Amino acid sequence: MDDRPNLYGAGREELARQVAPLDPRPFRARQVFRWLYQRDELAPAAWTDLPLALREQLATRFRFERPAWSGGAQARDGTIKAEVALPGADRVEAVAIPADDRQTFCISSQVGCAFGCRFCMTARLGFRRNLEIGEIVGQVALLRAVTGSPVGEYNIVFMGMGEPLHNFERVRAALALLTDEEGFALPPRRITVSTVGLPGGILGLADLPRPPRLAVSLVTADQALRDELMPVSRRYRLDELGDAIRRFGAGRRERPTLEVVMLAGVNDHPRLAPPLARYARRVGAKVNLIEFNPTPELPYAPAPEERIEHFLRVLANGGVVGTVRRSRGQDAYAACGQLAFLAADAKG
């Protein structure tokens, strides 16, 4: 058994603490930090700007391991889904979605999810565990390597498996590594954290020195309907949620996004469009209508195109910016809400 502690995922302070007994000069830990997160070179033997003896001591005492690629699939539209093997039998999925100029990486924050949204496949797994910091940023490193994306030239969305604000401390530490100039060096505006709508976590994000973008999976501005589709809504009501969203956006150039997955005959009725526009205006958000990805396990179907168009018109008339996110990666089971399939299959 390998009982060397794994330092992949350690932040600047933790690395400094671990490296200092071997070499007290502060720049040594910084060099290690850069190798790990900026250069994605995890073998101490290759850290050529460190003395050989120090490299050997580091390798003797520590492991530097990020989660491994354990399989994947590429959809016809170029979307790549990576299965990421974690210690034990757990796996999560991470997806790279190509656009004209750069990739978007959709990453997971938990194995399974505790929130039970009726339209989401991940909910079916239930909650298994939080991801560690290294398991979160490791997905980014893995996708960056697989797609050959240059440092800092991609987007990240926390829209994979799990609820990022339910794993707040580790997600916060991961954001610090991702935005660190000597780490992944990603501008915070290239990172979006998507949440079921936990007001405390939203305010926690707002207080970060360099907050990411915020997206909230609203689904509907009708309280009773939202209660039915997203049990979390009974605990954190639309009013309280709206206050947190407004406070997040206050004084920021970039508006938060409300995500509305469009379910036929459920939340796409024309009478639900004006309240959505009012809510978005009140909280200072834009709206992203999401095409639902059907799966045989779920009793929902995508809303018809004319309903989506109608919502877009009502939003525009109400002075709200509305966009549509078209489904990607369906034939690789890499689409939104499908990130549970393989894990579920593996359990039989």
Find the binder of ligand SAH among 119, 154, 311, 341 (CB under 6 A).
Answer: 119
| Active-site residue flag, 336 | yes
Report the site for ligand SAH in 128-147 (rule: CB under 6 A).
Answer: none
What's the rounded Cα separation, in Å, for the pair 219 and 177?
31
Pairing relationship of beta strands 80-85 and 322-325 according to DSSP bridges: unpaired
What's the rounded Cα separation, in Å, for the pair 243 and 202?
10
What's the rounded Cα separation, in Å, for the pair 78 and 334?
11
Would you count residue 217 as binding ligand SAH (CB under 6 A)? yes
Residues 150-189 as x/- pattern, contact with ligand SAH by CB under 6 A: ---------x---x--------------------------
Among residues 83, 93, 163, 291, the one annotated as catalytic is 93
Number of residues located near ligand SAH, criterion CB under 6 A? 15
Find the binder of ligand SAH among 196, 244, 245, 320 (CB under 6 A).
Answer: 196
Residue 257 one-letter amino acid: T
Q: Which two tokens stand for residue 344?
A: 């579920």
Would you count residue 334 as binding ligand SAH (CB under 6 A)? no
Report the site for ligand SAH in 253-312 (rule: CB under 6 A).
Answer: 259, 261, 290, 292-293
Between helices 168-179 and 199-206, what is the axis angle to 10°? 30
Residues 95, 81: contact at Cβ < 8 Å? yes
**From the CB of 240, what's the least distance to ligand SAH, in Å?**
17
What's the rounded Cα separation, in Å, for the pair 236 and 197?
8
Residues 211, 254: contact at Cβ < 8 Å? no
Helix (H/G/I), strand (E/B), else coil: 344: helix
**From the CB of 119, what's the least distance to ligand SAH, in Å?**
5
Would you count residue 149 as binding ligand SAH (CB under 6 A)? no
Residues 50, 36: contact at Cβ < 8 Å? no
- In 3D space, the residue among 141, 138, 163, 36 whose CA is nearest the CA of residue 87 turns out to be 138
Would you count residue 195 as binding ligand SAH (CB under 6 A)? yes
Q: Which one, 10 or 82, has the nearer CB to ligand SAH?
A: 82
Helix (H/G/I), strand (E/B), else coil: 183: coil
- Could you tell me which stretch among 13-21, 190-198, 250-258, 303-311 binds ligand SAH (CB under 6 A)? 190-198
| Active-site residue flag, 153 | no
Helix (H) or strand (E) holding 213: strand 213-217
Would you count residue 222 as binding ligand SAH (CB under 6 A)? no
Q: Which one, 67 or 329, has the nearer CB to ligand SAH?
A: 329
Report the site for ligand SAH in 2-41 (rule: CB under 6 A).
Answer: none
Residues 58-97 as x/- pattern, contact with ligand SAH by CB under 6 A: ----------------------------------------
**From the CB of 22, what's the least distance to ligand SAH, in Å?**
40
Pairing relationship of beta strands 213-217 and 191-195 according to DSSP bridges: parallel
Q: Which one, 93 or 180, has the nearer CB to ligand SAH?
A: 93
Longest CA span, the chain: 70
Would you count residue 336 as binding ligand SAH (CB under 6 A)? yes
Any bridge partners for residue 112, and if so which?
Answer: 127
Would you count residue 337 as binding ligand SAH (CB under 6 A)? yes
Helix (H/G/I), strand (E/B), else coil: 12: helix
Binding positions for ligand SAH, rule: CB under 6 A: 119-120, 159, 163, 194-196, 217, 259, 261, 290, 292-293, 336-337
Catalytic positions are 93, 336
